[in-house]
Amino acid sequence: MKLINNILLVLLSISILLSCTKVKNDETLKLLPMPQNVEVNWSQKHQLKNGEIDPDIILIKNVNSIPEAAINQEEAYRLIVTTDSVVIEATGDKGIYWAKQTLNQLVLQAKESDQSIPMVEITDWPAFRVRGFMHDVGRSFISVGELKKQIALLSQYKINVFHWHLTENQGWRLESRRFPQLNDSSSFTRLHDKYYTIEDAHEIAEWARKHNMMLIPEIDMPGHSEAFVRAMGVDMQSLEGTKILKELMEEICTDVFPDVEYIHIGTDEVQFTNPDFVPEMVKHIRGFDKKVISWNPGWNYETGEIDATQLWSYRGKAQPGIPAIDSRFHYINHFDPFGDIVALYNSRIYNQVQGSDDIAGSILAIWNDRYLPTEKDIMLQNYFYPNMLAFAERTWRGGGSEYFDKNGVILPTDENDPVFIEFADFEQRLLWHKKYNFANEPFPYVKQTDVKWLITDQFPNEGDLEMSFPPEEEISDSYTYKGQNYGVKPATGAGIYLRHVWGDIVPAFYDNPQENHTAYAYTWVWSPKTQKFGLWVSTQDYSRSEADLAAPQGKWDYRGSRIWINDEELPAPEWDNIHTEKTNEISLKNENFTAREPISVELNKGWNKVLIKLPVGKFSTPEVRLQKWMFTFVFVTADGKDAMSGLIYNPSKIKK
């Protein structure tokens, strides 16, 4: 009788949902990532009981397939919520798990609204089978508790891979009982004695498995291995080094990670002196029933010689017959908070709409070449969670408007442009999840789609960064200087790249940014009353992989940038770092605006003038290797948690 009732329940659910309509623009579900297919009937709703769904009405149904899912059937699911039932259909445990994460988001949304879920049918599947994040804990260290928290949080957004980069020149962060000298303090050059025990590794592996996330440990070889050399006294590619490494990998594959499917072996950024090393190590690790991943560019493989490659630079290429993980523009240690998330959200994975046998997906990576003092700083100054949620949606849904090659880091200024509309919708949902799921986590992002600018053409400064130009006298929509006409163009966003850190590879505001030129950005900001605000502002985002020097005291940067609010110049912060020797071992302090309190400023009632002067000399300087010709400017609450409400940014002084 119970089986008959369950069948009737399913049939009733499907029949009711035949009349469902597509989500309306004014009543959208705040799901991340947005499902592939959603039908909603807002007129009929499922009421929660005591803020929860009654578990007795949830029916889980294993099916042979989800017909709409052309790929990745093992992760596909259908979720049907009616007024009195919840049905989950999936081909296996993975799909069931993702369905439950979607259901949990619906419940969270209901708790924050009217305690009810609309009648909804969601048919969903991932466009790419690899959707991961990577921590470089060889150069840093993140506690087991913090890693577990991140795995749990990100699994809610259908991230399914944790890539654990465990060894580096600075330290061998994984315990070895066969070779304990690897974990001796003398083998480390940074964060001495910080490593994960075998019990820690087991705990992380089990936790990842519990949260439907594949763990990929990486033991980098034969490069990035100075910690190994210090401990063992031999190079990995030597006969003795290879012998030790084989025994070490036996320990890792059988004792430390007996149940993981893949081992990552690195092979990047190294000169190969032993042509037999990589083939021998791949064969050895495969002998423990493991699959092997390697960086590309790195060792050159033929089909069948490696199980997957991970592309790490723009030179990396997918090879037919070898699954590729595209991480080429996904190093968030170089990202800024506002421009790069636009490019990340809009970009197609390996320029493909969806995955295939050869294109597995992507992994977003943090590399901590520059020392950061705490794990909170690593999350905060790499803008980890906002980027991960943008990445989660793009890798799950697929698609995208470009491959970092059209608009790059620049939003369209036309609010009717489909690309703008899609990003603005994502931003709204992102900020909702920031409020309700990440309230106690570092989440440095506020609304930017309402921040409007005009930016001038480039004025030639002949290498004199202090040279003044007409916008400093009066702002306008056109200028004449030395007989030449200079116009302005609109831009939208809290962070605007004039030239991207990756130069000509990723487009920015100027089609042809030129050295020894000066730009001006300006807007008017309307405030309903005279009041004080916090201000996020900077003219250089410091990469977490560079030994760049902080700006001179009293200056915003080494380029001579200046900022005025209502014609009063805004002084630069007092920089905590004052060293003059470039080194990765002195941590970033308050160079990045996310690591310091917002600047307190007062705006008048009515319109307030903002003018930013942005000179540039050479694109590469002794003080800053990867020059970011850019600025960040947005008013926030005093604590920096949110954008300041009630303000209007409009360079034409139009209140809309």
Q: Measured between alpha carbons, how far is residue 572 from residues 46, 61, 336, 581 in Å?
A: 54, 61, 19, 22
Q: Which two tokens stand for residue 235?
A: 């190079």
Closest CA to 495 of 372, 638, 573, 386: 386
Give the Cα separation of 536 and 636 in Å (integer).
Answer: 7
Instruction: Provide CB contacts within 8 A for 103, sequence distance 6+.
Output: 53, 79, 81, 86, 88
Q: First and final CA of the chain: distance in angstroms?
A: 61
For residue 462, the tally of other CB atoms under 10 A from its CB is: 9
Identify whether the C-beta of residue 63 lies closer than 8 Å to the C-beta of residue 91: yes
Place of tokens 């949620």: 389
Element (H, E) at 6: helix 2-17
pLDDT value for 354: 98
Q: What is the pLDDT of residue 28?
A: 80
Cis omega (within 30 of 0) for bond into 323: no
- b/e per residue 605-625 (b: at least 16 CB within 10 A): eebbbbbbbbbbbebeeebbe
Which domains does the chain show, CATH number per domain? Answer: 2-124 (3.30.379.10), 130-405 (3.20.20.80), 446-649 (2.60.120)
Which one-letter DSSP state was computed for residue 270? Answer: -
d(CA 472, CA 244): 66
Report pLDDT for 50.
Answer: 86
**What are residue 243's phi and psi, to 5 degrees?**
-60, -45
Q: Which two tokens stand for residue 519?
A: 């730009």
Nearest to 645 by CA among 561, 472, 529, 562: 529
Stretches in the chain below the pLDDT threshold 50: 1-26
For every residue of 460-471, DSSP letters joined together read E-TT-TT---GG
Q: Which tokens sit at 137?
A: 């804990």
Q: Which helix (H) or strand (E) holds 394?
A: helix 384-397
- The kind and range of the H/E element at 369 are none
**Based on C-alpha coordinates, what's the Rg of the chain?**
26
pTM reported for the whole predicted model: 0.95
Distance, CA of 22 to CA of 120 (rounded, Å) = 10
Rounded Cα gap, residues 217 and 147, in angstroms: 14
Residues 6+ apart with CB under 8 A from 440: none
Residues 327, 312 contacting (CB under 8 angstroms): yes
The DSSP 8-state label assigned to residue 206 in this structure reads: H
Q: Where does residue 483 fall: left (phi above 0), alpha (psi -120 to 50 degrees), or beta otherwise?
A: left
Strand blocks (E) in 552-627: 562-565, 568-569, 599-603, 606-616
Classify residue 465 as exposed, middle or buried by CB count within 10 Å of its CB (0-12, 13-18, 19+). middle
DSSP category for residue 600: E
Structure confidence by residue, pLDDT tens digits, 253-302: 999 999 999 999 999 999 999 999 999 999 999 999 999 999 999 999 99
Q: How far is CA 98 from the centre of its chain?
A: 21
For residue 491, what are the β-bridge partners?
A: 453
H or E element at residue 429: helix 418-437
Closest CA to 44 of 116, 121, 114, 122: 116
Residue 27: its pLDDT value, please? Answer: 67
Asked if 427 and 447 count as a contact pair (C-beta separation under 8 A), the reply is: yes
In this structure, are residues 138 and 371 in contact, taking their beta carbons and an 8 Å threshold?
Answer: no
